[in-house]
């Protein structure tokens, strides 16, 4: 995607020697645009844990590059042990998005199959990490094409006005390597001159909607309005939402979807108001080992300070964090919730759109069901 007139991915290898990973620092968007270097697996784990990079697809790609950096820094006589330690460190950073562990396991598997010198193993790690990143971008591009069909149909039926799409959190290109999942169909529609407008949930406590989704949409020129997290139901009741599309961090084999906290409430409101609610995801977000999302998906609980405080730009242009509750008030901070499959109209994947059910998912991804 473009920032200004320049094309960026969210993560890439630097320069000619390709021994440093570069990322866009998402902690300080939308106020500043900064690229930072990652030199080793510890840098990468910190970047994921402290959310310099975030979003299911991007944490997966970052973890893959983290293993590559670990391979670059590893000694020949302890290579396998160092790779195992790097894998453990990366997997410990964030628990909910399945892409992270999936990418680490794929890297370790690729390295296990690579014989030869230390340099050859490092080269194998680089090739696999780059393949994971390229695949993430390509799958998201295709998700955009599949989702475009849904927006087109709604647009053709509407007598006037844009297709109003509500989204929660950030499932745009910043959450992946490029294109995004939930926002990819929006960009595809916009690029084909189909009138679209996005309702952007602010997404407390970290405000990924206000800070990241709104920024992305602005950069692309897509019409949008920021709304408070509690506004969606009201807009749905008044016919102001035609479609909801969100991303996902983990989707079980029966189609239950974990996504940013608050997604479930939007899904319930959408069903109550007969509004289609789609979840967009690349196959790396499926967890085919899990069935019941409510019982099985691990939900990250983060620092309560994120709820007690809010960060933003002051009139003087400085970025500051302020407290919004009484000193003595304690808080809890769950990062994700699970939307049961029955609330989901369909899953938009790189292989097409399917029902959020074991049968629907199995029709698109039969090989994973055979392997269970
Ligand atoms: O905590 P975050 O910002 O990593 O959470 C991101 C989301 O919940 C996104 O909606 C999700 O990753 C789906 S799109 C990749």
pLDDT in tens, 357-366: 999 999 999 9
Out of 52, 98, 171, mutate this one to test ligand 1's pocket (max ligand atoms within 8 Å of CB): namely: 171
Atom of ligand 1 at shortest distance to CA of 58?
Answer: 15
pLDDT score at 113: 79
CB 233 within 8 A of CB 201: no
Quickly count: other Cβ atoms within 10 Å of residue 274's Cβ: 7
Q: State the residue for tokens 């808080």.
A: 331
pLDDT score at 370: 81
Helix (H, G, I), strand (E, B) or coil at 301: strand
Of 136, 229, 249, 287, catalytic: 249
Q: Is 55 in the pocket of ligand 1 (CB under 6 A)?
A: yes
249 an active-site residue? yes
Q: Is 259 in the pocket of ligand 1 (CB under 6 A)?
A: yes
Helix (H, G, I), strand (E, B) or coil at 324: coil
Of 185, 183, 134, residue with least CA distance to 10 = 134
pLDDT in tens, 164-222: 999 999 999 999 999 999 999 999 999 999 999 999 999 999 999 999 999 999 999 99
Nearest protein CA to atom 6 of ligand 1, as residue? 55
Q: Is 164 in the pocket of ligand 1 (CB under 6 A)?
A: no
Of 245, 246, 200, residue with least CA distance to 223 = 200
262 CA distance to ligand 1 middle (Å): 12
Atom of ligand 1 at shortest distance to CA of 285?
Answer: 15
CB 270 within 8 A of CB 264: no
What is the reported pTM? 0.96
Percent of the chain that is helix, strand, coil (3-state, to 5) = 45, 20, 35
Q: Is 248 in the pocket of ligand 1 (CB under 6 A)?
A: yes
pLDDT score at 76: 94
Q: Is 98 in the pocket of ligand 1 (CB under 6 A)?
A: no
d(CA 30, CA 170): 13
In this prediction, the residues of the chain whose per-residue pLDDT falls under 70 are 371-372
pLDDT score at 106: 98
Nearest protein CA to atom 8 of ligand 1, as residue? 260
Helix (H, G, I), strand (E, B) or coil at 337: strand
d(CA 74, CA 78): 7
Which phi and psi (to 5°) does residue 347 adopt?
Answer: -110, 125
Out of 259, 266, 300, mutate this one to test ligand 1's pocket (max ligand atoms within 8 Å of CB): namely: 259
Q: Is 260 in the pocket of ligand 1 (CB under 6 A)?
A: yes
Radius of gyration of the chain (CA): 20
């Amino acid at each position: 995607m473009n920032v200004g007139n320049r094309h960026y991915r969210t993560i890439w290898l630097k320069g000619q020697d390709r021994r440093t990973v570069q990322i866009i620092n998402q902690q300080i968007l939308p106020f500043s645009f900064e690229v930072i270097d990652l030199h080793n697996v510890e840098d990468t784990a910190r970047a994921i844990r402290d959310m310099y990079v975030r979003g299911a697809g991007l944490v997966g790609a970052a973890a893959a590059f983290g293993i590559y950096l670990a391979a670059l820094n590893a000694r020949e006589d302890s290579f396998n042990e160092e790779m195992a330690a790097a894998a453990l460190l990366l997997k410990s950073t964030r628990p909910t998005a399945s892409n992270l562990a999936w990418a680490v396991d794929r890297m370790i598997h690729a390295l296990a199959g690579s014989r030869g010198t230390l340099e050859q193993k490092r080269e194998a790690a680089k090739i696999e990490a780059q393949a994971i990143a390229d695949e993430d971008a390509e799958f998201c591009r295709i998700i955009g094409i599949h989702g475009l069909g849904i927006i087109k149909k709604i647009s053709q039926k509407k007598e006037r006005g844009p297709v109003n799409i509500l989204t929660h959190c950030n499932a745009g290109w910043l959450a992946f390597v490029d294109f995004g999942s939930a926002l990819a169909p929006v960009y595809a529609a916009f690029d084909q001159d189909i009138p679209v407008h996005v309702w952007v949930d602010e997404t407390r406590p970290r405000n990924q909607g206000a800070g990241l989704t709104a920024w992305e949409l602005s950069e692309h020129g897509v019409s949008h309005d920021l709304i408070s997290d509690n506004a969606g139901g009201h807009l749905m009741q008044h016919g102001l939402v035609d479609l909801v599309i969100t991303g996902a961090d983990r989707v079980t084999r029966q189609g239950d979807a974990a996504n940013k906290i608050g997604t479930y409430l939007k899904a319930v409101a959408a069903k109550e108001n007969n509004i289609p609610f789609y979840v967009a995801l690349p196959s790396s977000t499926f967890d085919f080992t899990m069935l019941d999302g409510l019982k099985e998906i691990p939900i990250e609980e983060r620092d309560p300070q994120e709820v007690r405080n809010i960060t933003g730009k002051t009139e003087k242009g400085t970025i500051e964090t302020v407290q919004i509750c009484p000193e003595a008030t304690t808080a809890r901070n769950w990062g994700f919730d699970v939307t049961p499959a029955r609330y989901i109209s369909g899953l938009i994947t790189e292989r097409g759109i399917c029902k959020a059910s074991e049968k629907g998912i199995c029709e698109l991804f039969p090989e994973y069901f055979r392997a269970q």
